[in-house]
Structures are given as structure tokens and as C-alpha cells.
DNA sequence: TTTAATGCGGACCAACTTAGTCCTGTTTAA
DNA sequence: TTAAACAGGACTAAGTTGGTCCGCATTAAA
């Protein structure tokens, strides 16, 4: 499935809500009400985003959270990696030092490893080119994602087999 | 972390090993010995790949597994989705029907959803452009991944903050 | 000065997922 | 007939995740 954790999903929803508030701050309570995310989880996610430097917080009465910089300057990769570590499909290729060489017991025989670095960078590039501001735009009219503007065809994929094993998982 | 499951990782390692064998078949036992992956797991993964149509199996004595088609015609997306469902960062955008509309309780308020479709397709494109044959090539000299050849800079990312929350997760 | 609202930093738990093991068929070449 | 190999389960242990809760520190306003 290759999915993000729910918390990261929450984080993105909360950030877009916050971006819509412009320079005003919002309390965790307000954001919970506005998005439908349960308050304790909102709290936890916001704390994480604050720790990563994406949000600034004001404590005390009439406190709240605000973006630390304009939404245009917050790339999607940074949001994701703030909440669940470096964007990487495999442990071994993670640049953050998650697998400090030696963790993967197959390392000596693994002939695939070098390729993951490239693949991971590709995904990071695609995700990093998208900012929080893009996610706030009303209609998904995203360009410059690194994929040539092109119809729905699977591009240079010359095999006629329907991608994704068809019914196996549906 | 955004990672694949270990089983999928195994699957890819096993498939490359199998691709190296050309048109010969290999037994689960041989593959386990050749890759270092524990035999029961090898068995499980191969069964999955067989069910998805990526492998053909021959039962009985001197049986074994072989690729169902040339490695050049097996895109990476198909391998991944065979072992862990459709390639998608979120449940709600998954094309396989995993979340049959209504699963996500935030659906009515979620303003981000439309964007995920685009993001997911981007990643699918990048991954689908790569085949098993590419993964077998000795050196990662991969082109045409959909990302314009470009230096290591994170592209249009003008913020000075070190991506990935720095020490928080390392 | 007091009060109440708010974020901070944890500990904690239940549920789910994952990786791994094992067992009993069935098939098939020798 | 035999043994090697795949097929298809059930099962378990460990880890992760999502979610809850609590007491504390901070601060604006009454």
C-alpha cells in the first residue's frame, strides 16, 4: 500500500487549514473543530510540527499555532519527514541515518540497494516540488511535478498488462 | 518513513535473483540460499507473486519458480502492488477500491483529497517507468525516471531549514 | 493578584499489522 | 512408490500505531 501514517495525513489537513488562516493563529481546539480530527490527535500532531520548525506556538491564554513561514515555502517533503522521518521506500536507503549501515542483514548479498537511492530521490523530488500552498489551491491543477504534462496513459510503459495485478487486491 | 513492507523488499530481491537465472526455474530453497532471506518467508512471498501473475510455478519434484515474462516487461509498480496493494500514499486516493468512498470520516471536510490523486499518479509514473530489468543492471545509471536531470539541490525549495526535522528522527 | 485558557511533555493502553513459523495437503519427476 | 517441491492455510510473537489522559508551565485578561 505504500502509505503514509494517519498522523501525517492529519498533519497535512491541519496545515492547510492553518494556511487558510493566513497570519492569524489558531488554537488546537479550533483546528479540531474545523477539520474533524479528534482533539488529542490534533494536539499531538501540532506538537510534532512545532518541534520540526514548521509551526510557531504561543502559549497561555489566547495562544495558538501559526505557520512559521509562508505556505509557498513549505515543501511537502518537509511536512512528511517532520512527522514520520525521511521519505524513503526502504530502510537502507534512508538518508537520515535510520539504518546506520549494518542494520540490514542482507546487505552483503543485496544487489538492489544502489537502485533505491535513485528511486528515493525521484520520489523526494516529486514531493519536494509541491508546497503547502499548492495543496491549498481549490482545484488540483498541479504542474511542474516532474512528470511531463500528459494524458492518463502510463507513459513509457510498453507492457499491455493492467498495472497493479488487477483484481487481486481490489 | 513512507516505507514498503519487508516482504515487498524481499520480493524485489527474489525477483532480481530470479531474473538473473534467465529462463531457468529456481526452487524456493535455492533462492533462500542465494539471497539470505529465510526460507518460509521466501515461500510466502513467491506464492504471492505467483498469485499476481508475475511468476509461473512448477510443482512436484524438480519443480520451481520462473518469471512469467521477460524482466523488461515487469514494471516496479506491478511488483509493489502485487505484494501490498495499490501504490498510493493515502487510503482515500487508492485506485483499487480500497477505500470505497465513505471509509474516511473526514471526507466531507477534507479539502486536500483531490490533490492526492495527482501526487499518487506522479509516484506511480515514476515507479512504473522502472522495470525489473533496470533493477538487475549492475550500476544505478537510471534515466527517464520522469524527473529532469538536475543536480542534488532540492529544486524550488528556498528555505534554509535542513529537510527532515534534523535530529528529531535520526 | 487571581483565574482560566492554552500549549508542553510525558506515560499509557488497546488494537492492528507484520514477520515469521509450522502443518497438512497435492502434484510430479525419477 | 518415493521424495521433492509447491499450495494453502492457521497460528504466534513482536512491533507499531492511533488514541487517551494527566499534571505542569505559561500568559492574557479580569
pLDDT digits over B117-129, tens only? 888 888 999 899 9
Q: Supply the mean pLDDT for chain B.
A: 78
User: What was the pLDDT predicted at B61?
Assistant: 94
How many Å apart are CA A16 and CA A131, to the nearest integer?
10
Structural domains in chain A plus CATH codes = 6-136 (1.10.10.10)
User: What was the pLDDT predicted at B94?
Assistant: 58
Q: Is the pLDDT of residue A15 over 90?
A: yes
pLDDT digits over B51-68, tens only? 999 999 999 999 999 999
- Range in A38-52, A103-117, A147-161, B60-74 with the lowest mean pLDDT: A147-161
- The three state secondary structure string of chain A is CCCCCHHHHHHHHHHHHHHHCCCCCECHHHHHHHHCCCHHHHHHHHHHHHHCCCEEEECCCCCEEEECCCHHHCEHHHHHHHHHCCCCCCCCCCCCCCCCCCCCCCCCCCCCHHHHHHHHHHHHHHHHCCEHHHHHCCCCCCCCCCCCCCCCCCCCCCCCCCCCCHHHHC
Q: Is the pLDDT of residue B27 over 60?
A: yes
Nearest to A67 by CA among A4, A8, A133, A124: A133
Confidence of residue B139 (pLDDT cuts 50, 70, 90): low
User: What was the pLDDT predicted at B38?
Assistant: 94
How many Å apart are CA B140 and CA B39, to the nearest integer?
28
pLDDT digits over A107-116, tens only? 556 778 788 8
Nearest to A7 by CA among A43, A55, A50: A43
The arithmetic mean of pLDDT across residues A30-48, rounded, is 95
Nearest to B44 by CA among B58, B60, B32: B32
The arithmetic mean of pLDDT across residues A120-138, rounded, is 89
Q: Supply the mean pLDDT for chain A.
A: 78
User: What was the pLDDT predicted at B93?
Assistant: 59
Q: Is the dihedral of CA A9, A74, A46, B3 positive or negative?
A: positive
The arithmetic mean of pLDDT across residues A162-170, rounded, is 32
Measured CA to C1', the nucleotide nearest A41 is D19
pLDDT digits over B86-113, tens only? 999 987 755 544 444 555 666 556 778 7
The arithmetic mean of pLDDT across residues A118-125, rounded, is 89
User: What was the pLDDT predicted at A59?
Assistant: 95
Please report which residue ranges of B21-162 form alpha helices under DSSP H. 28-35, 39-51, 76-84, 113-128, 132-136
Q: Output the distance from B104 CA to C28 C1' rounded to whole Å.
A: 49
Q: Output the distance from A148 CA to C15 C1' rounded to whole Å.
A: 43
| Closest residue on chain A to B31 (Cα) | A109
Contact A109 B35 (CB under 8 A): yes
Measured CA to C1', the nucleotide nearest A43 is C7
Contact A88 B157 (CB under 8 A): no
Amino acid at each position: 500500500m505504500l502509505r503514509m501514517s494517519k498522523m501525517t495525513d492529519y498533519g497535512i489537513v491541519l496545515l492547510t487549514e492553518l494556511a487558510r488562516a493566513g497570519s492569524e493563529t489558531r488554537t488546537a481546539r479550533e483546528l479540531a473543530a474545523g477539520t474533524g480530527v479528534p482533539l488529542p490527535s490534533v494536539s499531538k500532531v501540532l506538537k510534532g510540527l512545532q518541534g520540526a520548525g514548521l509551526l510557531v506556538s504561543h502559549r497561555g491564554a489566547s495562544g495558538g499555532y501559526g505557520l512559521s513561514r509562508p505556505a509557498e515555502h513549505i515543501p511537502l517533503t518537509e511536512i512528511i519527514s517532520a512527522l514520520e522521518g525521511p521519505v524513503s521506500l526502504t530502510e537502507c536507503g534512508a538518508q537520515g541515518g535510520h539504518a546506520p549501515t549494518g542494520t540490514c542483514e542482507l546487505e552483503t548479498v543485496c544487489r538492489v540497494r544502489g537502485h533505491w537511492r535513485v528511486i528515493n530521490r525521484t520520489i523526494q523530488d516529486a514531493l519536494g516540488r509541491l508546497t503547502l500552498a499548492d495543496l491549498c489551491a481549490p482545484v488540483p491543477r498541479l504542474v511542474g511535478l516532474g512528470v511531463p504534462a500528459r494524458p492518463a496513459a502510463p507513459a513509457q510503459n510498453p507492457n499491455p498488462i493492467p498495472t497493479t495485478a488487477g483484481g487481486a487486491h481490489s
